[in-house]
Amino acid sequence: MKFELQHNDTKTNARAGLITTDHGVIETPIFMPVGTQGTVKGVHMTELKEDIDAQIILGNTYHLYLRPGLEILEKAGGLHKFNTWDRPILTDSGGFQVFSLSDNRKLHEEGAEFRSHIDGSKHLFTPEKVMDIQRIIGADIIMAFDECCPGDADYDYAKKSLGLTERWLDRCFDRFNATEPKYGYQQCLFPIVQGCVYPDLRRHAAENVTRKGADGNAIGGLAVGEPTEKMYEMIEVVNEILPKDKPRYLMGVGTPINLLEAIERGVDMFDCIMPTRNGRNGQLFTRFGTINIRNKKWEDDFSPIDSDGNSYVDTLYSKAYLHHLVKVNELLGLQIASIHNLAFYLWLVKEARRHIIAGDFATWKSGMVQQLDNRL
């Protein structure tokens, strides 16, 4: 993987760059749709590629390990062949999913023991096993196995958790460096900066991660219950230390406003389930604010879903029609809302990139944040 930093904004820390992988080029800043179980929920690959124009998507180690399982994925030739996506893929290590199973998991030095949310069967994820699983899945960018510390953890717990994450990180790199990709193209490993909301822990973690000299670096453990301002503060603390010539990935974030605030602070890559999950619940993101399409006010509004939108669904269907579909729980409604939101997120980061290169990002971002905060 290669990262070319193309432009630095003069008034903020925003950057525009290019990531080159064996499955194609990614223009940053970029949003990555989440395809947890090998699919972005309710969206065809053709729509992702030709309409939404996603440049990279996510898969999840925990879910793919459980279903369809490693034997099927390896027989298929990896996730790219299995789901037909021929652009870059990033896999999360499954650390966050194991963290989410708080009642059904035990952490110790060796790894994380957990029970499957599907059938209750017992499993053990070690750093070595997670590297091996991600070799079989075959994503272009794979993530280190870490403990995702709760946003409200006290200092002692956060410090202990970070120590475990850093020891696991050493083991991830040892295993990654001792193994080879399975399918004839390169993979790269991103370490993850943890440390909860404590600046000294975040600095320590960022310094440790920087010493690894990885192709890119991730910031994890945010948007897990801490105040939004704390999240922004931690991004600033970490990005002062992380190398400027490597991409920075903020995991699991967030709202359109969160994306712009993080881009301003020097983040290059994002993923979040929000556009699809919130879309399935009837929330539409637009450049003028959010719409709850379930509200009665839309039932006889026959104007396009979003006349300024970037997907074919935005002008093909009316707000009244989408209101009806969502109210009756018609699957097509969930699909339309998901496609609209993903197309909007991709438009937003492309527009941010355009303004970074044009030199007026700060002015554009300030106005856009005000618009995005509206409820329509």
- Is residue 215 among the annotated active site residues? no
Which residue among 9, 92, 215, 306 is the active-site one?
92
**Both tokens assigned to 272:** 């979040």
d(CA 323, CA 314): 13
Please check whether residue 236 is in contact with residue 262, taking contact to mean a CB–CB distance below 8 angstroms: no
What does the DSSP assignment read for 265-332? TT--EEE-SHHHHHHHTTEEEETTEEEETTSGGGTT--SBS-TT-SSHHHHHSBHHHHHHHHHTT-HH
User: What's the DSSP call for residue 251?
Assistant: T
**Span between the terminal Cα atoms of the chain, in Å:** 42
- The three-state secondary structure class of 348 is helix
**Both tokens assigned to 162:** 């970070």
What does the DSSP assignment read for 111-146? -EEEE-TTT--EEEE-HHHHHHHHHHHT-SEEE---
d(CA 335, CA 341): 10
Which residue among 9, 51, 215, 271 is the active-site one?
271
- Is residue 92 among the annotated active site residues? yes
- The three-state secondary structure class of 24 is strand
- Among all residues, which ones are annotated catalytic? 92, 271
